Amino acid sequence: MSLKAVVLGCGTYLPERVLTNDDLAKRVDTSDKWIRERTGIRERHIAAEGEFTSDLAVAASRNALEMAGFSPSDIDLVVVATTTPDLTFPATAAIVQAKLGIENGAAFDIQAVCSGFIYALSTVEKFLTSGQHKRALLIGAETFSRILDWEDRATCVLFGDGAGAFVMEAQKEAQAQGRGVIASYLRSDGRLVDLLYVDGGVSTTKTAGHVRMQGNRVFREAVVRISEAMETVARQAGVSANDIDWFVPHQANERIIQGVVKKLDLRPDQVISTIAGQGNTSAASIPLAYCAGVNDGRIKPGDLVMLEAMGGGLTWGAALLRA
Ligand code: UT7
């Protein structure tokens, strides 16, 4: 009997410090009005000095494990989607594994920038449904504030720090009762690297670099490519927009989200949006939003949930799961 990869728990963590639009307007030539109207963002969380991506990931993982009713020793796969690792190596996932006291299985990172969680979900699903691993911690965690140019108003107002985690288990079809990841679709087009990238790296400048973005061009690509990914995943799964209960998008810009909603004939009340209070947390945004929907009772077991993201690369993708 075939296996399904089922989400049994989710958890989140946001750093304590909040940076508002008004705070940013004191640093760069911007305003609360411009940021809210163009992006939907009001404030974002910023990691404290000495608080690392792995710390955010561990806090979110503990919450996810608690919801799932597992202890760290039940986990045999840790995958972290991040663009802001603690160190160049080892993988942040290995650091998380050690901090949680997990002695079993494997741990590795996935780098697909803001699409990282979709890439990681698709990867973990294959590891679990192949039978190679039994229970996974799938984490999106970022300290994006560390790679922002705080003088560049076009990018520094957009991003925030945070982490979200899923506990996933390989279950036999009958046990899963229709739950689990149903389909996923990943794409990238490296020719578009100049639209969104970091101007530094280990092999080039030996520095971490800063985010550079042609926001307007990324915006125009986003609605088209995200919609195409969602339509592809829905077609693969044999479902229509009407069947979808909840839409959990990557939280880059409220206007992108609304553009996709309109293009695919979804209803605005199906969207789980956390952008106002968190900004764009890159690979962490999808599990942060998903978990917000679970915690406030909107996403219930059995609901059909569409996830999507687009980010640097360009990379993009979508996934459909039954909660
Ligand atoms: O998660 C990864 C994927 N990332 C995204 O999906 C981000 C996609 N892009 C966006 O969300 C939007 O393009 C932005 C929010 C980044 C920018 O919004 P926009 O409506 O595309 O503005 P724009 O870049 O066309 O700039 C319009 C104006 C410009 O001024 P001029 O040339 O018209 O005088 C900018 O210099 O707004 C100016 N501007 C700002 N003004 C005040 C740019 N940033 C700011 C700012 N405050 N923070």
Please write the tens of the pLDDT for every residue from 40-75: 999 999 999 999 999 999 999 999 999 999 999 999
Any catalytic annotation for residue 114? yes
Q: Choosing from 45, 63, 114, 210, which is the catalytic residue?
A: 114
114 lines ligand 1 (CB under 6 A): yes
Please write the tens of the pLDDT for every residue from 178-206: 999 999 999 999 999 999 999 999 999 99
| CB-CB contact of 138 with 109 (8 Å) | no
Residue to probe by mutation, ligand 1, list 19, 219, 221, most atoms within 8 Å of CB? 219
Q: What angle do CA 285, 255, 239 make, to 5 degrees?
A: 70
Please write the tens of the pLDDT for every residue from 132-144: 999 999 999 999 9
| CB-CB contact of 50 with 250 (8 Å) | no
| CB-CB contact of 275 with 290 (8 Å) | no
* pLDDT score recorded for residue 174: 85
Which CATH architecture is the domain 3-176 placed in? 3-Layer(aba) Sandwich (3.40)
| CB-CB contact of 158 with 28 (8 Å) | no
Would you say the CATH fold of 180-322 matches that of 3-176? Answer: yes
Determine the Cα–Cα distance for residues 58 and 54; give it in Å rounded to an integer: 6
Please write the tens of the pLDDT for every residue from 280-299: 999 999 999 999 999 999 99
Please write the tens of the pLDDT for every residue from 215-269: 999 999 999 999 999 999 999 999 998 899 999 999 999 999 999 999 999 999 9
Which residue type, as a one-letter code, is found at position 27?
R
> Ligand 1 mean position to 216 CA, how many Å?
6
> What are the domain boundaries of the chain?
3-176, 180-322
Strand partners, 247: 271, 306
Q: For the stretch 96-132, what's the b/e string if a residue is b when 16 or more beta carbons lie within 10 angstroms of its beta carbon?
A: bbebbebeebebbbbbbbbbbbbbbbbbbbebbbeee
Cα-flanking dihedrals φ and ψ of residue 45, to 5°?
-100, 145
* pLDDT score recorded for residue 1: 73
| CB-CB contact of 166 with 10 (8 Å) | yes
Residue found under tokens 């945004």: 285
Top CATH class of 180-322 equals: alpha beta
Any catalytic annotation for residue 250? yes
Determine the Cα–Cα distance for residues 86 and 204; give it in Å rounded to an integer: 19
Share of residues in the chain with pLDDT > 70 (%) = 100
Residue from 191, 190, 208 nearest 199 by CA: 208
Mean pLDDT, residues 5-20: 98
118 lines ligand 1 (CB under 6 A): no
Q: Choosing from 21, 63, 280, 291, which is the catalytic residue?
A: 280
Q: Would you give the distance in Å from CA 141 to the centre of its chain?
A: 8
Question: Sorting pLDDT into bands at 50, 70 and 90, what band is 100?
Answer: very high
